[in-house]
């Protein structure tokens, strides 16, 4: 016979105002199996928990029902209390008489009756609760970090410095991401590469970081603590081990003029090239689309002949390697919204009225960074791409593609107000007699020292800020005519600019949706990866063991990306803190004797947590096929239970018998 | 091939030179224009400025008349007309209640069976390749500023024609005729539209800017596909010159004028000699 | 138009979504001569000052070029708002507006259509000028562009007798049905 203790909480006034708690406690005390029934003002408090522990001991309870708030709040708390007093934590049930009762009803009588009904259901269920044990999953204490920008670098260093191995996979030939291409960063105006490259070098030299550059994640198998990752190492055509980075090859390459990816098309690079001087690894790569030898299969080959260490191999092929890891951190970053043409999704469209792509002197913010950068295509001189002259009037336009329901994205890209102010300042620092004009809608400068930074651009560096959007840009006699509005003055404004910089929206990096599907991570309609909870779990995802950080989750600046990266690293380190992981045992299980091996469950499981398996005799003779749940992956959603035609699948802690018991208690 | 034809008030009035050249060049291309029986005014700017239901009813009546005549396609060379017809058509297609109400008001049913075309679309239907093959006198030396005005491409959701920020459909026709078009900046800037009489000041100001920009970019003529644009740029050119003390001397062609000329028709046959700015 | 009809129309035009970015003002070809900017007009409707908005001179300077609506990042139909305000203004013009040439022109235009089914241009000019002289007391206006008429006739562009619609009666009925019952 069960010995159940029911503890009904007042929750101060929250429950007691609407539900007659004393009456409820008295009523449920009469239920079969209930050994004792108490009520108390605050069950979750220390005295409240002490009460439960005390009753468990004095009454010899073997199951507990707490009638109070939502299990989301305190189920863990009460389970711990029960466990410490000797009751299996999975023989603890909570009846939600707050969110489901006192908070949504007004009438005291009916609410009291409903509370009693809810508790009766929980009592009926707890009678059938099995004393489950947590599932233990072994953990491979290695991490995979996908994306080698500042966020990925931070996460990799944190995990590696904690003593664990990290596999860092980066799609480009060098790590560094977008930050490596910036000139100076707000609000300190630190030289971007100066603060980043020491970190990049640290990654490159770290004994516990295995760096795969010019590589992508091909396939992901396994589950939390036990992932098998297949990585595709794209053919670089250069052996980075023997290569010394001397530069003879790229200096002799005859195909000199390809638009440089690093300079966003403003500069040129040869077919064999080093992405930028501070690249890590500091080794060149051959662009197979433009290299004569690779395209035609013969001819040229000058670089190979010149190379003293014989590091060039035109017969290089992509290679697949596998790595075993326990946790994955995704830090794939962002790219800019394509302003001048159709988008991948076909829902947004470009801004023909701004002339981007038509006029050389209309550039994006990242392109302007390259103009400002000392290592950029103009050596840090701000000049017009069309004629190389110094612009005396530069117009900066905010929110191009952001905050736009009609042709762009509805969200705010967060960083543009700050970097536009930065651009205005840096431009003025370089062109002393220049005038910056900024067209904005609002100024978003909420970070530390951010507001002061923007005011500096206006008050000290003389940037002229017009509150209004720009309708159209066109070129007359070499000048860009910018037709905007000054809504504060209540008039249209026309500026004749020499250069226009468009602050384009931030969107997730291309290919992120494919990667997310491989990892079972959700993404929103824009491709931003979904966090478990926007407030309380910003770096975890619905896929156990997979964490996210940086701009792949949402637009954000460098300080936030770095902070999130460390947060994601800490989540991985929590996992690595033990040789084994404990998982909640409320997972599905399949009665293999009964299973008809129709595999409907495998097809419907959203977590790919069910496998086909063979049932064998002890001597290895085949008996039958069956479906088998991987308790390491199962999230307990119950879909398999719903679809199983032979009723072989059931959910521990929420068995069909328990559900029916609850329903019968109610009827 | 015959198609339905909705001239609108302008083409039977002040801009009957536009009708003349449109009929002539389309006929030369084998397209006969059959006027919609007993058509009425589309309402133009006046209707949508004064009463919303009237602005839908007048076009609705015309669409229903075209349907009654059995036209699958109707050419409306005036973009004001074609825009009002398309707008009313869209509204009635998406709102069954409105469609029924309009049916009651205009005493005819609308079933959305007639497609409305502008002049450029008519040429596209004939096929630019066919037109090119039929050219007898390529328009060499022509440096046209193709002027679309407002209502050929805006609002894009209603008209679904060309690209309102970077249109190129007229340039394609000019190229097929052996002429060249200049790249200029006022392709879709308003000329003042129907304000010619009501607010001449605006028309002079806006049209002056258009003529100035066309010349600045090397055009030796401006090509239009709208009767209001033509009136504002051609008939009012003398007033513009007087007001701003500038000599524009810019010939304003209808697109059909150029097509007709290239096909070998005479200026008199096309009505080009009836323009206010005419060099002979 | 009733208050309800106005509210519904305003809703359809998505006035509530306007965040006052000013792109409409930036692209308006006649903003320079308006007493209120297009974004200010929308703002006034937003805050419930429809009365003030319909009294602005700007709504009758607007040339309906649709640039504002086309480029609006919030899909607010600014040109539609101008139309709505014009319709309200035409229903209840202020004394100043009742003299405004553009309103007089649009009324003359519609009366002309109502009578003939299609525009009779000569008559339109005559009625318009007469209205301007009597309502705005601008007598010189009678002679404006007078020299244009013979030049137009010379070019066969001015017909003394316009082409006509056979079923003119239905036009009258259409007008009646639309102009009455304005609370639909």
- Do A146 and A116 reside in the same domain of the chain? no
Sheet strands (E) in C4-129: none
- Do B182 and B106 reside in the same domain of the chain? no
Task: For chain C, give every domain's residue range.
Answer: 3-91, 99-179
Would the CB atoms of C72 and A484 count as touching at under 8 Å? no
Q: Among residues A393, A391, A392, A400, which one has the least CA distance to residue A419?
A: A400
Q: What's the total number of domains in chain A?
A: 4
Task: For residue C68, give both structure tokens.
Answer: 């504002």
- Do B167 and B115 reside in the same domain of the chain? no
| Residue of chain C whose alpha carbon sits nearest to that of A494 | C26
The confidence score (pLDDT) of residue A319 equals 97
What separation, in Å, do the N-terminal and C-terminal C-alpha atoms of chain C show?
8
Closest CB to B199 among C87, C101, C109: C101
Would the CB atoms of B185 and A353 count as touching at under 8 Å? no
User: A609 vs A149, A323, A601, A630, A642, CA distance in Å?
Assistant: 32, 21, 9, 5, 15
Residue whose token pair is 């017809």: B85
The confidence score (pLDDT) of residue A408 equals 86
Structural domain contains residue B226: yes
Residue to test with chain C: of A443, A487, A494, most C Cβ within 10 A: A487
**Residue B198 contacts A, CB cutoff 8 Å:** no
Task: For residue C38, give both structure tokens.
Answer: 């297009």
Q: How many CB pairs under 8 A join B and C?
A: 155
> What pTM, to 2 d.p., does this model score?
0.89
A414-445 pLDDT, tens digit each = 999 999 999 999 999 999 999 999 999 999 99
**What average pLDDT does the structure give for chain B?**
96
Opening angle at CA A206, ends A201 and A211, nearest 5: 80
- Do A422 and A410 reside in the same domain of the chain? yes
- Do A173 and A317 reside in the same domain of the chain? yes
Helix (H) or strand (E) holding A193: helix A192-205
Average confidence (pLDDT) over A616-626: 95
- Do A398 and A492 reside in the same domain of the chain? yes
Would the CB atoms of A475 and B166 count as touching at under 8 Å? no
Is the per-residue pLDDT at B128 higher than 90? yes
The confidence score (pLDDT) of residue A349 equals 62
Would the CB atoms of C27 and A471 count as touching at under 8 Å? yes
Range of the domain at A169: 142-333+563-576
**Residue C44 contacts A, CB cutoff 8 Å:** no
| CATH at B36 | 1.20.1050.140
Q: Among residues A259, A483, A500, which one has the least CA distance to residue A358?
A: A500
Would the CB atoms of A492 and C40 count as touching at under 8 Å? no
| Residue of chain C whose alpha carbon sits nearest to that of B207 | C29
Output helix, strand, coil percentages for chain C, rounded to the nearest 5. 65, 0, 35
The confidence score (pLDDT) of residue C145 equals 82
- Do A180 and A253 reside in the same domain of the chain? yes
**Residue B216 contacts A, CB cutoff 8 Å:** yes
| Residue of chain B whose alpha carbon sits nearest to that of C27 | B189
Average confidence (pLDDT) over C69-92: 96
CA distance A591 to A597: 11
All residues of chain A having their beta carbon less than 8 Å from the beta carbon of residue B165 are: 351-353
- Do A175 and A296 reside in the same domain of the chain? yes
Residue whose token pair is 């328990």: A658
**Residue B164 contacts A, CB cutoff 8 Å:** yes
Structural domain contains residue B49: yes
CA distance A62 to A53: 11
Would the CB atoms of B202 and C30 count as touching at under 8 Å? yes
CA distance C77 to B154: 12
Is the per-residue pLDDT at A348 higher than 60? no
- Do A191 and A295 reside in the same domain of the chain? yes
Q: What's the total number of domains in chain B?
A: 2
| Residue B39 Cα, gap to closest chain C Cα (Å) | 7
With bands split at pLDDT 50, 70 and 90, how would you rate the model's confidence at C184? very low
With bands split at pLDDT 50, 70 and 90, how would you rate the model's confidence at C163? low
**What average pLDDT does the structure give for chain A?**
95
B3-37 pLDDT, tens digit each = 999 999 999 999 999 999 999 999 999 999 999 99
Range of the domain at B246: 137-274
Q: Look at strands A92-96 and A63-68 and give their pairing.
A: parallel
Would the CB atoms of C118 and B12 count as touching at under 8 Å? yes
- Do B186 and B80 reside in the same domain of the chain? no
A458-494 pLDDT, tens digit each = 999 999 999 999 999 999 999 999 999 999 999 999 9
Contacts of residue B39, defined as CB under 8 A and 6 or more positions apart, other chains included, come to B6, B7, B62, B65, C118, C165
**A36-61 burial by CB neighbour count: b if 16+ within 10 A, else e?**
bbbbbeebbeeebbebbbebbeeeeb
Asked whether the beta carbons of B9 and B227 are under 8 A apart, the reply is: no
Is the per-residue pLDDT at C151 higher than 50? yes
Average confidence (pLDDT) over A239-258: 94
Would the CB atoms of C166 and B192 count as touching at under 8 Å? no
Closest CB to C22 among A405, A408, A468: A468
Would the CB atoms of B185 and A475 count as touching at under 8 Å? yes
- Do B141 and B257 reside in the same domain of the chain? yes
Tell me the Ramachandran region of residue A634: left when phi exceeds 0, alpha when psi lies from -120 to 50, beta otherwise. Answer: beta
Is the per-residue pLDDT at A343 higher than 90? no
Last residue of a domain, one of B86, B119, B152: B119
CA distance B231 to B236: 6
Task: For residue A348, give both structure tokens.
Answer: 């947004």
Backbone angles phi, psi at B215, to 5 degrees: -65, -40
Reduce the DSSP state of residue A168 to 3 states and report it: strand
Would the CB atoms of A358 and B166 count as touching at under 8 Å? yes
**Residue C37 contacts A, CB cutoff 8 Å:** yes
| CATH at B143 | 3.40.50.11810
Would the CB atoms of A487 and C72 count as touching at under 8 Å? no
| Residue A407 Cα, gap to closest chain B Cα (Å) | 12
CA distance B134 to A33: 98
- Do A106 and A149 reside in the same domain of the chain? no
CA distance A228 to A582: 20
Average confidence (pLDDT) over A263-288: 96
B63-110 pLDDT, tens digit each = 999 999 999 999 999 999 999 999 999 999 999 999 999 999 999 999
Interface confidence (ipTM) of the complex: 0.94
Structural domain contains residue A661: no
CA distance A330 to A522: 12
Asked whether the beta carbons of A233 and A222 are under 8 A apart, the reply is: no
The confidence score (pLDDT) of residue C181 equals 60
Is the per-residue pLDDT at C25 higher than 90? yes
| CATH at A446 | 3.50.50.60
Query: How many Cα neighbours within 13 Å face the side chain of B87?
Result: 26
Is the per-residue pLDDT at B201 higher than 70? yes
Structural domain contains residue A583: no
**Residue C22 contacts A, CB cutoff 8 Å:** yes
- Do A317 and A430 reside in the same domain of the chain? no
The confidence score (pLDDT) of residue B279 equals 73
Neighbours, chain B (3 or more CB pairs < 8 A): A, C
Closest CB to C29 among B52, B57, B190: B190
With bands split at pLDDT 50, 70 and 90, how would you rate the model's confidence at C183? very low
| Residue A565 Cα, gap to closest chain B Cα (Å) | 42
**Residue A357 contacts B, CB cutoff 8 Å:** no
CA distance B73 to B235: 31
- Please state, for a pLDDT cut of 90, what percent of chain A lies above it: 92
Closest CB to C64 among B41, B52, B193: B193
Average confidence (pLDDT) over A197-203: 98
CA distance A404 to A395: 20
Would the CB atoms of C73 and A408 count as touching at under 8 Å? yes
A128-166 pLDDT, tens digit each = 999 999 999 899 999 999 999 999 999 999 999 999 999
A25-80 pLDDT, tens digit each = 999 999 999 999 999 999 999 999 999 999 999 999 999 999 999 998 899 999 99
- Do A10 and A90 reside in the same domain of the chain? yes
Would the CB atoms of A352 and B185 count as touching at under 8 Å? no
DSSP C17: G
Sheet strands (E) in A532-603: 546-548, 580-583, 588-590
| Residue of chain B whose alpha carbon sits nearest to that of C126 | B197
The confidence score (pLDDT) of residue C36 equals 97
| Residue of chain C whose alpha carbon sits nearest to that of B98 | C184
CA distance A147 to A128: 48
- Do A314 and A346 reside in the same domain of the chain? no
The neighbour count for residue A318, using CB atoms within 10 Å, is 13
| CATH at A592 | 3.30.70.20
| Residue A389 Cα, gap to closest chain B Cα (Å) | 23
Q: Tell me the β-bridge partners of A562.
A: none
Domain C3-91 class? mainly alpha
**Residue C23 contacts A, CB cutoff 8 Å:** yes
CA of residue C141 relative to chain centroid, distance? 20
All residues of chain A having their beta carbon less than 8 Å from the beta carbon of residue C25 are: 468, 485, 487, 491-492
Is the per-residue pLDDT at A346 higher than 80? no
- Do A39 and A155 reside in the same domain of the chain? no
The confidence score (pLDDT) of residue B244 equals 97
Is the four-CA dihedral B210, A489, C82, B88 of positive or negative sign? Answer: positive
Residue to test with chain B: of C105, C138, C158, most B Cβ within 10 A: C105
Q: What is the C-alpha R_g of chain C?
A: 19
The confidence score (pLDDT) of residue A84 equals 96
| Residue of chain C whose alpha carbon sits nearest to that of B9 | C119
Average confidence (pLDDT) over A519-526: 95
Structural domain contains residue A656: no
What separation, in Å, do the N-terminal and C-terminal C-alpha atoms of chain B show?
33
The neighbour count for residue B217, using CB atoms within 10 Å, is 15
B143-195 pLDDT, tens digit each = 999 999 999 999 999 999 999 999 999 999 999 999 999 999 999 999 999 99
Q: Among residues A657, A654, A647, which one has the least CA distance to residue A593?
A: A647
**B257-272 burial by CB neighbour count: b if 16+ within 10 A, else e?**
bbbbbbbebebebbbb
């Amino acid at each position: 016979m069960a010995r159940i203790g029911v503890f009904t909480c007042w929750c101060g006034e929250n429950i007691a105002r609407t539900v007659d708690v004393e009456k409820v406690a008295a009523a449920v005390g009469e239920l079969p199996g209930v050994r004792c029934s108490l009520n108390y003002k605050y069950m979750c408090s220390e005295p409240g928990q002490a009460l439960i522990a005390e009753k468990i001991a004095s009454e010899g309870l073997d199951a507990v029902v707490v009638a109070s708030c939502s299990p989301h709040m305190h189920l863990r708390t009460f389970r711990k209390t029960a466990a410490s007093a000797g009751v299996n934590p999975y023989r603890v049930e909570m009846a939600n008489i707050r969110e489901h009762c006192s908070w949504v009803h007004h009438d005291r009588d009916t609410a009291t009756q409903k509370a009693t009904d809810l508790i009766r259901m929980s009592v009926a269920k707890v009678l059938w609760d099995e004393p489950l044990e947590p599932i233990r999953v072994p953990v491979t204490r290695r991490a995979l970090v996908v994306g080698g920008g500042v966020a990925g670098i931070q996460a990799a260093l944190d995990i590696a410095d904690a003593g664990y191995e990290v596999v860092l996979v980066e799609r480009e030939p060098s790590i560094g991401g977008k930050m490596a291409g910036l000139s100076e960063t707000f609000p300190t105006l630190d030289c971007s590469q100066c603060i980043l490259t020491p970190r990049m070098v640290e990654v490159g030299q770290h004994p516990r970081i295995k760096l795969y550059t010019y590589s992508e994640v091909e396939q992901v198998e396994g589950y939390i603590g036990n992932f098998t990752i297949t990585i595709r190492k794209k053919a670089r055509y250069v052996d980075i081990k023997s290569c010394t980075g001397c530069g003879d090859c790229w200096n002799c390459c005859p195909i000199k003029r390809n638009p440089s990816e690093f300079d966003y098309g403003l500069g040129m690079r040869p077919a064999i090239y080093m992405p930028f001087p501070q690249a890590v690894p500091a080794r060149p790569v051959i662009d197979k689309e433009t290299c004569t030898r690779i395209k035609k299969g013969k001819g040229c080959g000058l670089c190979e002949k010149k190379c003293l260490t014989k590091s060039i191999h035109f017969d290089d092929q992509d290679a697949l390697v596998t790595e075993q890891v326990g946790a994955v951190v995704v830090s794939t970053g962002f790219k800019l919204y394509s302003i001048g043409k159709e988008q991948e999704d076909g829902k947004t469209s470009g801004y023909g009225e701004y002339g981007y792509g038509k006029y050389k002197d209309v550039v994006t913010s990242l392109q302007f960074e390259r103009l400002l950068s000392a290592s950029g295509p103009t050596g840090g001189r701000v000049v017009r791409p069309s004629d190389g002259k110094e612009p005396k009037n530069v117009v900066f336009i905010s929110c191009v593609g952001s905050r736009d329901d009609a042709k762009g994205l509805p969200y705010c890209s967060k960083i543009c107000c700050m970097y536009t102010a930065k651009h205005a300042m840096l431009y003025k620092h370089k062109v002393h007699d220049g005038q910056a004009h900024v067209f904005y809608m609002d100024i978003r400068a909420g970070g530390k020292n951010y507001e002061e930074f923007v005011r500096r651009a206006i008050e000290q560096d003389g940037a002229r800020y017009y509150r209004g959007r720009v309708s159209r840009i066109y070129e007359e006699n070499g000048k860009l005519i910018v037709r905007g509005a000054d809504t504060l003055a209540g008039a249209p404004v026309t500026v004749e600019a020499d250069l226009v910089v468009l602050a384009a929206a931030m969107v997730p990096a291309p290919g992120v949706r494919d990667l997310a599907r491989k990892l079972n991570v959700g993404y929103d309609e824009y491709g931003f990866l979904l966090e478990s909870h926007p407030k309380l779990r910003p770096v975890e995802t619905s896929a156990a063991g997979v964490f996210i950080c940086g701009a792949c989750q949402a637009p954000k600046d460098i300080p936030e990306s770095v902070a999130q990266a460390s947060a994601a690293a800490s989540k991985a380190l929590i996992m690595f803190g033990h040789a084994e992981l404990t998982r909640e045992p409320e997972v599905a299980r399949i009665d293999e004797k009964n299973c008809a091996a129709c595999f409907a469950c495998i097809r419907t499981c959203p977590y790919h947590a069910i496998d086909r398996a063979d049932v064998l005799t002890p001597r290895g003779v085949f008996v039958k096929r069956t479906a088998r749940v991987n308790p390491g992956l199962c999230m307990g959603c119950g879909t398999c239970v719903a679809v199983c035609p032979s009723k072989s699948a059931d959910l521990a802690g929420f068995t069909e018998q328990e559900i029916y018991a609850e329903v019968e208690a109610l009827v | 091939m015959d198609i339905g034809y909705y001239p609108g008030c302008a083409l039977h009035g002040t801009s009957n030179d536009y009708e003349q050249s449109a009929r002539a060049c389309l006929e030369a291309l084998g397209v006969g224009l059959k006027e919609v029986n007993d058509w009425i005014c589309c309402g133009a700017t006046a209707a949508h400025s004064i009463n919303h239901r009237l602005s839908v009813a007048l076009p609705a009546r015309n669409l229903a008349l075209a349907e009654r005549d059995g036209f699958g396609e109707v050419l409306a060379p005036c973009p004001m007309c074609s825009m009002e017809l398309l707008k009313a058509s869209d509204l009635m297609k998406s709102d069954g209640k409105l469609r029924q109400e309009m049916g009651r008001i205009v005493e005819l049913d609308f079933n959305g069976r007639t497609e409305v075309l502008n002049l450029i679309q008519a040429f596209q239907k004939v096929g630019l390749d066919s037109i090119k093959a039929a050219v007898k006198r390529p328009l060499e030396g022509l440096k046209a500023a193709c002027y679309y005005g407002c209502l050929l491409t805006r609002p894009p959701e209603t008209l679904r024609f060309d690209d309102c920020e970077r249109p190129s459909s007229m340039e394609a026709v000019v190229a097929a005729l052996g002429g060249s078009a200049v790249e200029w900046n006022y392709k879709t800037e308003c000329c003042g539209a129907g304000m010619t009489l009501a607010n001449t000041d605006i028309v002079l100001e806006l049209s002056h800017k258009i003529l100035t920009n066309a010349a600045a970019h090397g055009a030796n003529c401006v090509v239009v596909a709208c009767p209001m644009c033509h009136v504002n740029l051609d008939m009012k050119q003398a007033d513009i010159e007087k007001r701003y003390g500038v000599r524009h001397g810019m010939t304003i062609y209808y697109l059909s004028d150029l097509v007709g000329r290239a096909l070998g028709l005479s200026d008199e046959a096309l009505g080009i000699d009836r323009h206010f700015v005419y060099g002979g | 138009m009733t208050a309800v009809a106005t509210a519904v129309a305003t809703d359809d035009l998505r006035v509530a979504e306007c965040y006052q970015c000013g792109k409409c003002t930036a692209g308006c070809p006649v903003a320079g001569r308006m007493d209120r900017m297009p974004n200010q007009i929308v703002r006034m409707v937003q805050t419930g000052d429809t009365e003030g908005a319909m009294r602005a001179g700007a709504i009758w300077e607007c040339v309906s070029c649709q640039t504002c609506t086309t480029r609006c990042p919030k899909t607010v139909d600014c040109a539609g708002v101008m139309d709505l305000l014009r319709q309200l203004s035409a229903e209840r013009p202020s004394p100043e507006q009742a003299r405004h040439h553009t309103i007089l022109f649009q009324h003359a235009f519609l009366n002309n259509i109502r009578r003939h089914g299609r525009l009779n241009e000569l008559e339109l000019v005559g009625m318009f000028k007469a209205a301007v002289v009597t309502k705005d007391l601008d007598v010189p206006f009678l002679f404006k562009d007078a020299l244009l008429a013979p030049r137009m006739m010379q070019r066969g562009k001015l017909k003394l007798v316009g082409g006509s619609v056979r079923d003119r009666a239905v036009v009258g009925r259409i007008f009646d049905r639309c102009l009455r019952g304005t609370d639909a």
